[in-house]
Amino acid sequence: MARTPSSRPRKPNAHPTTDKMQAWENIKKLRAEADALDDPKPNAQTVTGVEFAGDPFVYDFDYNVLDARGSAAPPAWQPHRPDLPEKFEGGKRFELVSDYQPAGDQPAAIEALCAAAQEGDKDQVLLGVTGSGKTFTMAQVINRLQRPALILAHNKTLAAQLYGEFKNFFPNNAVEYFVSYYDYYQPEAYVPRTDTYIEKESNINEQIDRMRHAATRAILERDDVIIISSVSCIYGIGSVESYSSMTFVLKPGDRADPQTVTRDLVALQYKRNDIYFARGNFRLRGDALDIFPAHYEDRAWRILFFGDEVEAIHEFDPLTGKKTADLEAIKVYANSHHTTPRPTLSQAIEKIKAEAKARVEWFEQNGLLIEGQRLKQRTDFDLEMLLATGSCAGIENYSRYLSGRNPGEPPPTMFEYIPDNALVFVDESHVTIPQIGGMFRGDYSRKKTLSDYGFRLPSCMDNRPLRFEEWDAMRPQTISVSATPGPWEMNQTGGVFVEQVIRPTGLIDPPVEIRPVTGQGFTQVDDCIAESRTTIAAGGRVLVTTLTKKMAEDLSEYMHEQGLKVRYMHSDIDTVERIEIIRDLRLGNFDILIGINLLREGLDIPECQLVCILDADKEGFLRSETSLVQTIGRAARNVDGRVILYADSITGSMKRAIDETDRRRAKQVAWNEANDITPQSIRSNIHDILNSPYGKEGVTIGLGADGDATANVKGKGRGRGKAEALPEAGAPGHNFKAALADLEKRMRAAAADLEFEEAARLRDEIKRLERLELGM
């Protein structure tokens, strides 16, 4: 049964008020006026490490170029909506667990969003002011509607924050994390100018890989699934049809012998390893077959055979060997998202051969002998591997053939895995939506270069992210969430939005003050330092944003010299460290955080009492209305929060940001008076941070004799027994990978010596470090 995306006409009357329509008209008008004031913007600009993709909805793309065989324009494309298999663990309900109840505008927003979703509205916008608890609203909507959800985040720091929050809200449901390796690693690329070929980082991150498997499995097997994903979920993965057909079920009493099951496992890309038992391996000892499923971290399955019958199946701890549960049935999923059934694979191989032959000939005819030679070698090698093992390095580049699609058609993605009734939440939609539009083009030029120089067949270009309109056609009901929604999502709803202006704890928008950049005998820097001191003395934290990296560096150095505890966060700092920096700021290990464009949407820092925006009148991307509103919003989670804009003149963006803040504040104050509410700072989970996987409070374990163990900075590790402190990831001179490898070696040694308690402790530490590395 083919599925078509909901084409029901939207019902603009479902929940708008004329008042809101008017508000949106006003916003549009103001924006248009402001744009006229702004300097003309180049189509694509780079602002201190921020790629700004320009208009995301333009596609300068020609499929005739893409397809070297010169086939005509692709056939009219129909979104592929495969039938999803029946669920193995379906029927479980979402159970939201939280200390607090919906408050402020949340109850009304939840009501409106649920009602419109049930009405079948394809698009909705939740315009919730910064700090109005949009995440909790999303959780409530999921819980109320009892529908699986995909939550899109635009960066890793936010994805990790959301993952932590949703895991807390839904401890008994499947909250999964689906990001691409490319978010962490270098994809395959070729730089012609320097003749450099960069291989895809072959050392795939174990944790990410496992979590991706857990996510795809969960979405096919359960109803209570929430997947937190980066925008890279619009990249291709193996088709649902192959992925779900390459599974098998075993139950006690089944007729099966170890040899058959072993063969099945090999077909699913599991590897036999009787000595080193790790994820994706199996081992056979007598009548016991152990499988370490692709989606598990520290659990494995043991199948006990009696002759050619399955006698029992249980779950055990692979490290200690201890049995943890009896199982009634297991369903084994492939150890790769690109496992393909044999007949499909054979067909694919023929087609790959044909394309390779034609392309090599083309290279030769055009005198590109090196390229032709290179392509022939590489494809022959891949084909041999495919024939022999059913897989090869970079198999995803053959996805056109493996999934049986036409040239130019989009590859299968996560959007083919999620069921029709799923909800998509696009968090911080004003950034995330343009990113979805930008993915395709970035990827296209990289693939095209690889194909032009004979590293890959041209068909590799069909292993790509979805184009914007493909995503648009694929997605189920969508709720865009932002304090400053962008034009696309607002147009989708015809300007209708659900609003959250009243914050749950009665907090009002922070007062915004404008001060001169330079005055008599002082500068914005002097003033900012003086104000920071006052705030710090009162127990608050400070965020400062500058326009350039240089200025941020100089300022942090200067503040440091002035005896202030300050740090600087910029685009070169990796996710793990960013999360640590924010946590350390919250914990009070330092007081002032300086940034350029990272102290913005989503960051939940309730301790922040002062936001200083330097050079606020330099109109441009970093000082646009959206940037200002989002940065100002970081002070909206604390009763004493306030904002200083340093500016010698008032730009259009400033005026709009301040007017909007004033309008909201008036509404919020009136509400508080009418309801007799005293605003209270948000009390967000500083304890959660401490307990979270990336908290520093875990059991810490020494590096061993040759490790340069230094004291844990926080000194709060509840070290047990002989546990020593381990330097944190990112500490200077600390070789993270080597430390992990060493810990793993010691864990295995301990297990081999039957010191299971020690082994388990080491394993927990490895897990903690791996999560830390992922920034979760």
Ligand X SMILES: Nc1ncnc2c1ncn2[C@@H]1O[C@H](COP(=O)(O)OP(=O)(O)OP(=O)(O)O)[C@@H](O)[C@H]1O
Which residue, 134 or 295, is less far from Mg ion as judged by CB? 134
Q: Is 133 in the site for ligand X (CB under 6 A)?
A: yes
Binding to ligand X by CB under 6 A, coded x per residue (else -) over 489-508, reads: ---------------xx---
Stretch touching ligand X by CB under 6 A, among 112-120, 432-440, 577-585, 601-609: 601-609
Check the CA dihedral 218-220-226-231 and report its sign. positive
Distances (CA, A) of 242 to 89, 260, 343, 403: 20, 20, 11, 8
The least distance separating ligand X from the CB of residue 131, rounded to whole angstroms, comes to: 5
Task: Please report which residue ranges of 300-368 form alpha helices under DSSP H.
Answer: 342-365
Which residue, 611 or 762, is less far from ligand X as judged by CB? 611
Task: Confirm if 272 and 283 have CB atoms less than 8 A apart.
Answer: yes
Which residue, 211 or 632, is less far from ligand X as judged by CB? 632
Binds 545, which of ligand X, Mg ion, none (CB < 5 to 8 A, cut-off by type)? Answer: none
Which residue, 132 or 205, is less far from Mg ion as judged by CB? 132
Q: Could you tell me how many residues of this chain bind ligand X (CB under 6 A)? A: 23
The least distance separating ligand X from the CB of residue 223, rounded to whole angstroms, comes to: 25
Residue nearest to ligand X (CB): 133
Distance (Å, whole) CA 36 – CA 653: 11
Check the CA dihedral 545-633-154-125 and report its sign. negative
Residue 756 parent element (H or E): helix 756-774
The least distance separating Mg ion from the CB of residue 768, rounded to whole angstroms, comes to: 26
For 164-193, b where at least 16 C-beta lie within 10 A, e where not — what string? bbbbbbbeebbbbbbbbbebbeebbbbeee
Question: According to CB under 6 A, which residues from 96 to 115 bind ligand X?
Answer: 100, 102-103, 106
Task: Confirm if 39 and 325 have CB atoms less than 8 A apart.
Answer: no
Which residue, 617 or 625, is less far from ligand X as judged by CB? 625
Which residue, 516 or 679, is less far from ligand X as judged by CB? 679
Stretch touching Mg ion by CB under 5 A, among 62-70, 112-120, 128-136, 746-754: 128-136
Q: Which of 371, 601, 660, 728 binds ligand X (CB under 6 A)?
A: 601
Question: According to CB under 6 A, which residues from 649 to 708 bind ligand X?
Answer: 682, 684
Binds 684, which of Mg ion, ligand X, none (CB < 5 to 8 A, cut-off by type)? Answer: ligand X
Determine the distance from the C-alpha atom of residue 152 to the mean position of all C-alpha atoms in its chain, rounded to a whole number.
Answer: 7
Nearest Cα neighbor of 427 from 576, 684, 630, 689 is 630
The least distance separating Mg ion from the CB of residue 151, rounded to whole angstroms, comes to: 11
Can you name the residues that pair with 426 across neighbouring β-strands? Answer: 152, 480
Which residue, 102 or 485, is less far from ligand X as judged by CB? 102
Q: Is 723 exposed, middle or buried (0-12, 13-18, 19+ CB in 10 A)?
A: middle
Residue type, 494: G
Phi, psi dihedral angles at 423 (to 5 degrees): -110, 140
Binds 133, which of Mg ion, ligand X, none (CB < 5 to 8 A, cut-off by type)? Answer: ligand X
Nearest Cα neighbor of 244 from 268, 209, 220, 215 is 220
The least distance separating ligand X from the CB of residue 505, rounded to whole angstroms, comes to: 5
Distance (Å, whole) CA 776 – CA 161: 7
The least distance separating ligand X from the CB of residue 489, rounded to whole angstroms, comes to: 15
The least distance separating ligand X from the CB of residue 504, rounded to whole angstroms, comes to: 3
Q: Which of 238, 476, 602, 695 binds Mg ion (CB under 5 A)?
A: 602
Binds 16, which of ligand X, Mg ion, none (CB < 5 to 8 A, cut-off by type)? Answer: none
Q: Is 509 in the site for ligand X (CB under 6 A)?
A: no
Distance (Å, whole) CA 269 – CA 340: 10
Which residue, 239 or 480, is less far from ligand X as judged by CB? 480
Binding to ligand X by CB under 6 A, coded x per residue (else -) over 473-492, reads: ----------x---------
Which residue, 451 or 597, is less far from Mg ion as judged by CB? 597
The least distance separating ligand X from the CB of residue 165, rounded to whole angstroms, comes to: 7
Which residues, other chains included, contact 646 with Cβ-Cβ below 8 Å and sequence gap of 6+?
A: 514, 515, 516, 517, 524, 527, 528, 612, 613, 614, 615, 616
Q: Which two tokens stand for residue 595?
A: 């940034």
Q: Which of 112, 124, 130, 390 binds ligand X (CB under 6 A)?
A: 130
DSSP letter assigned to residue 641: -
Using CB under 6 A, list all residues that contact ligand X: 100, 102-103, 106, 128, 130-136, 483, 504-505, 601-602, 604, 606, 633, 637, 682, 684
| Contact residues: Mg ion, CB under 5 A | 134, 602
